[in-house]
Amino acid sequence: MKFRPALRPIVLSLAVAAAVATIAGCKPGTSTDNAAQPAATASAQDAAAKAGQLNKIYADYWEAYLKLNPILATFTGDVRYNGELPDFGSQQYRDESKKFLQDWLAKVEAVGSEGLTGQDLLNYEIFTKDAKDQIEAFQFPGWMAPVNQMDSTASLAVQFGSGDGAQPFKTVQDYDNWLKRGARIPVLLDTEIANMQQGIAAGVVQPKALMEKVVPQLDALIVDTPEKSLFWGPITKLPKDFSDADKQRLTEAYKKMIAEQLMPAYRKLRDFIANEYLPKTRDTFGLDKLPNGQAWYAFNAKQSTTTDLTPDQIHQIGLDEVKRIHGEMQKVMTQVGFKGTLQDFFKFMQTDKKFEFKSQDELLKYYRGLEAKVNEKVASQFSLIPKSPFEIRPVEPFREKSAAGGQYYPPSEDGTRPGIFYVNTYDLPSRKIWDAEDLYLHEAIPGHHFQIALQIELKDMPAFRRWSIQSAFAEGWGLYAESLGKDLGVYTDPYSYFGYLQNELWRAIRLVTDTGLHSKSWSRDQVIDYMKQNSAVSDTTAVAEAERYIAWPGQALAYKIGELKIQELRDRAEKALGAKFDVREFHAEMLKDGAVPLAVLEQKIDRWIASKKA
């Protein structure tokens, strides 16, 4: 999962490095000296009062943040601002957002952390460190390159306005809210055009390979008649209990908005990109090729992994993991009696027809069967299970060509919108049967759905933490969840187990290729060649993934770095606790506090191990 700061503000990336080591030892005073007890009691009372004061600030901050970011409010299920859409890319909004962070950081730091322990100290450290990181991020001009094949206001608007996304379409007020919000989209697209023009002047432009994909994406959204538009979706689903007058009024209003506002704005953006922007795009690929790009990428890597690892260190970890996983794959080759090289085996896994789904319906049926199979074994591994409902859906046609093989979309806070696992059915022969089990475990159960839905359900935790995305934790957990396949009743044949190894290998390859692109001058073709030489990857997937890494520098580093830390902590707990180790308890401990930076996670698990040994 990845959310742009502007239009996908799932709050804070919440990296914490400073003062984490103090958390493990911060407990209220327990001195047996009677003279010291009144002071200790007073100190504890002061800490409790301070924690209460901070919790009030966090709550007020969240209320203000939702008002500043109404798209986030809609995403969480808060309907108060469903008709509002600020101009996220404007200089005014960026300045307002920076001052907002500075002001709230000052309020929290004025209270201070002295005397805080446990969750109270954790909340403080996460909030303050993240706010500082977000303020630091303003030095990098991402707003000058707001459109790529993975992310744009144009594509996000369709997801909201099609009737199948977070924007609700149940009441007349809901429909009127989208009329207000939809009317603002041309303003945002004009701002993006102006920002890209500034980017051209400053030398901050997207690679040509990415923007060549954007033009056909926009072409697919531009129609001559409103009824053919994806924005017409809500009108095709008008609730039966609406009055005839409202149905007629809304139908005409949506037709006018699509024809006179949305489509002209989309055509304007499309023509600007095709005729003015594309000729100015760059033939290089790495973020390090932009002004201050090396520092920009190092910052992204730090944010994504919540570590202080350098791009060079991450690159080497990737190379080492690729070598190790290749060794595990050789064992699978021996098990199935395959004769030939590892590269021959990759080709066999990619080309043999027995690994292909015959239809989209067969693919979706297979995944829904996995849901039932995995659910039978979940209780043996997990005691903490989300209450939120869950669905499997195909990726929408307008974005399937560039979307990943699978994607998780979180539930709403009120439970009215389920968690959704989107499965990509585009280029069906490339969606392998042997790849299905591990993908399901990662994106759905017990991967992202368990981790993210549980986090949203933690009502006692400040909202800024419940709605945060810590990529290293979240994606690390997703990849770790894939390793549980045999315990959850899947990977019963060696080819599906190979699928797990292939995806673990894929995340190791990401460490090599992402850092290669953005810190070692690798080209797009160089990345694709490395993928194909070292894994069983289709041309379709290799191209889409390479271009994803180009579009989102550093994001792909989170998976393997997070998974390595989680597996390290499980190994540590099993070794330390021996017969006392209970995997259900370990998983509950991992998930019960939501996503946290990796250094915080390590401290937390070490405390848990110590408590179990006592």
Q: What are the DSSP calls for 151-210, one per residue?
A: --HHHHHHHHHTSSSSS--SSHHHHHHHHHHHHHHHHHHHHHHHHHHHHHHHT---BHHH
What is the model's pTM?
0.83
What is the b/e burial string over 265-280, where b = at least 16 CB atoms within 10 angstroms of the residue's CB? Answer: bbeebbebbbeebbeb
Phi-psi region of 163 (alpha: psi -120 to 50; beta: other; left: phi over 0): left
Structure tokens at 476: 């690390």
Phi and psi angles of residue 482, each rounded to the nearest 5 degrees, phi first: -65, -30
Alpha-carbon distance of 456 to 410, in angstroms, equals 9
pLDDT tens digit sequence for 310-327: 999 999 999 999 999 999
- Axis crossing angle, helix 494-519 with helix 311-336, rounded to the nearest 10: 160
AA letter at 39: A
Residues 6 or more apart whose Cβ sits within 8 Å of residue 587: 381, 382, 383, 384, 446
Which strands form 406-409's sheet, in the order they lie side by side? Answer: 390-394, 419-423, 406-409
DSSP for 437-453 reads: HHHHHHHSTTTHHHHHH
Residues 6 or more apart whose Cβ sits within 8 Å of residue 451: 473, 474, 477, 478, 591, 595
Structure tokens at 194: 């102006």
Q: Position of tokens 């099609």?
A: 162
Query: DSSP secondary-structure letter at 25?
Result: G
**Rg of the Cα trace of the chain?**
25
| Run of H or E including 279 | none
Alpha-carbon distance of 219 to 204, in angstroms, equals 25
For residue 115, give the 3-state DSSP assignment. Answer: coil
Low-confidence ranges of the chain (pLDDT < 70): 1-40, 42, 402
Alpha-carbon distance of 392 to 368, in angstroms, equals 7
- Residue ranges of domains in the chain: 20-139, 153-288, 298-560, 563-613
Alpha-carbon distance of 281 to 211, in angstroms, equals 8
Residue of 362, 338, 312 lying closest to 518 (CA atoms): 312
Strand duo 390-394 + 419-423: pairing: parallel
Is the CB of residue 600 less than 8 Å from the CB of residue 548? no
DSSP for 404-468 reads: -SEEEEPPPTTSSS-EEEEE--SSGGGSBGGGHHHHHHHHSTTTHHHHHHHHHT-TTS-HHHHT-
Beta-bridge mates of residue 408: 421
DSSP for 525-564 reads: HHHHHHHHHHS---HHHHHHHHHHHHHSTTGGGHHHHHHH
Structure tokens at 384: 């903490």
Structure tokens at 409: 């979309």
Give the pLDDT score at 37: 55
Strand duo 406-409 + 419-423: pairing: antiparallel
Alpha-carbon distance of 492 to 503, in angstroms, equals 17
Is the CB of residue 212 less than 8 Å from the CB of residue 198? no
Query: DSSP secondary-structure letter at 356?
Result: B
Phi and psi angles of residue 583, each rounded to the nearest 5 degrees, phi first: -65, -30
Beta-bridge mates of residue 426: none
Contacts 24+ apart (CB under 8 A), 89-97: 89/6, 89/143, 89/146, 89/153, 89/188, 89/191, 89/192, 89/195, 90/191, 94/138, 94/143, 96/68, 97/68
Residue of 246, 222, 274 lying closest to 169 (CA atoms): 246
Is the CB of residue 474 less than 8 Å from the CB of residue 1? yes
Alpha carbon distance, N-terminus to C-terminus of the chain: 38
DSSP for 372-383 reads: HHHHHHGGGT-S
Phi and psi angles of residue 306, each rounded to the nearest 5 degrees, phi first: 50, 40
Is the CB of residue 568 less than 8 Å from the CB of residue 483? no
Alpha-carbon distance of 465 to 275, in angstroms, equals 43
Structure tokens at 223: 């129609």
